[in-house]
Amino acid sequence: MAPLRTIAGRVGPRVMAIASQQTRGMATEKQIFNQINSTKNITKITSSMKMVSAAKLKGDETRLAAAIPFNKWTYEVCPEPQLVEDATYEELPKKVLIVPFTSEKGLCGGVNSFISRATRDMVKKLSDQGKEADIVVIGDKGRGQMRRTVADSILRSATEVTSPGSYALASALTSELIAAGAGEYDAVVMIYNSYVNAAVYKQMYKVIPALTVEGDEGSVLDTYDFDSDKMESMADLYEFMLSSQVFHCFMDGAAAEQSARMTAMENATKNANEMIDKLTLQYNRARQARITTELIEIISGASALDD
């Protein structure tokens, strides 16, 4: 039994130190096992959400493809959309109404953060240029973020705006903009996420200027004759143009949201699998330390009985 006594004397203190360290600061074997099971359940959820987002993305792509030609006529009157990145907004008029499009739900990467940051940057740059800017937020997540940064500029917000959208929903949102006094501003600026592909989306903004009625140089459609009152017709045309732009922005943003959520859930699943591997390794080490401790106790007990 001398070799057993020697082994117990050499290995025993080291194993006991490991066991005491595990008791003080490290998770127990049972706790690590529970963490592994919890992380596996999270993996099932995130992988399912990824598949759901992929299915929804296909429908959003179809609706976006239909919305693009529907909205194409507005570019005869309004400028083309421009990238938010590195924009100076010097071309914007004196008084504008900013309409950022955000989502109702989270777990979609930086979709809402990018729009909130772009809105905050636009308000700051316009203020530095001596221009006025008010905000009507679309989406609950954007409202929560912008309340912390540009709360003084927010006139109202539209929440519970869920996908898939329709032109009826766009018309209701346009009514909110009209009620907020959109016609009293020199232009309405819409900030939204523009879908490029399943992995890429960009932040864009489009400017919808107010339609003038007078036949001067700054008016639009001044070469056309109207059967009804021109002022009334231009007001109806402006409202229809706003609803068309809102419809396109909402469809574009919905597709970008689903693509971002699909990517975010894929990354979450990958991270969860990596965490499972690390926890499994930690669990095996804790299990090995426990077994070694039990063996040392058996050897030590046998040595004591031999003495």
CA distance linking residue 258 with residue 198, whole number of Å: 9
Reduce the secondary structure of the chain to three states and give it as a string: CHHHHHHHHHHHHHHHHHHHHHHHCCCCHHHHHHHHHHHHHHHHHHHHHHHHHHHHHHHHHHHHHHHHHHHHHHHHCCCCCEECCCCCCCCCCCEEEEEEECCCCCCCCCHHHHHHHHHHHHHHHHHHCCCEEEEEEECHHHHHHHCCCCHHHEEEEECCCCCCCCHHHHHHHHHHHHHCCHHHCCEEEEEEEEEEECCEEEEEEEEEECCCCCCCCCCCCCCCCCCCCHHHHHHHHHHHHHHHHHHHHHHHHHHHHHHHHHHHHHHHHHHHHHHHHHHHHHHHHHHHHHHHHHHHHHHHHHHHHHC
- For residue 217, pLDDT over 80 is answered with no
- For residue 2, pLDDT over 50 is answered with no
Per-residue pLDDT of 149-180, as tens digits, reads 999 999 999 988 887 788 999 999 999 899 88
Name residues whose C-beta falls within 8 Å of residue 261's C-beta, 6 or more positions apart in sequence. 49, 53, 107, 108, 109
Give the pLDDT of residue 26. 62
- For residue 204, pLDDT over 60 is answered with yes
- For residue 4, pLDDT over 50 is answered with no
Residue with token string 């639009």: 220
Residue with token string 């100076």: 88
Per-residue pLDDT of 38-69, as tens digits, reads 999 999 999 999 999 999 999 999 999 999 99
Question: In the chain, what percentage of residues exceed pLDDT 70?
Answer: 87
CA distance linking residue 101 with residue 98, whole number of Å: 10
Name residues whose C-beta falls within 8 Å of residue 260's C-beta, 6 or more positions apart in sequence. 108, 109, 110, 111, 193, 201
Q: Can you tell me the mean pLDDT for 227-250?
A: 87
Beta strand pairing status for 200-209 and 187-197? antiparallel
- For residue 213, pLDDT over 70 is answered with no
- Residue 5 or 232, more confident: 232
Per-residue pLDDT of 62-110, as tens digits, reads 999 999 998 898 888 889 999 999 899 999 999 999 999 999 998 898 9
CA distance linking residue 79 with residue 277, whole number of Å: 52
Residue with token string 């809402």: 112
Q: Residue 44 burial by CB count (10 A; 0-12/13-18/19+): exposed, middle or buried?
A: exposed
Q: What is the mean pLDDT of the chain?
A: 86
Q: How many CA atoms lie within 13 A of 77 on its CB side?
A: 21
Q: Which residues pair with 200 in a beta bridge?
A: 197
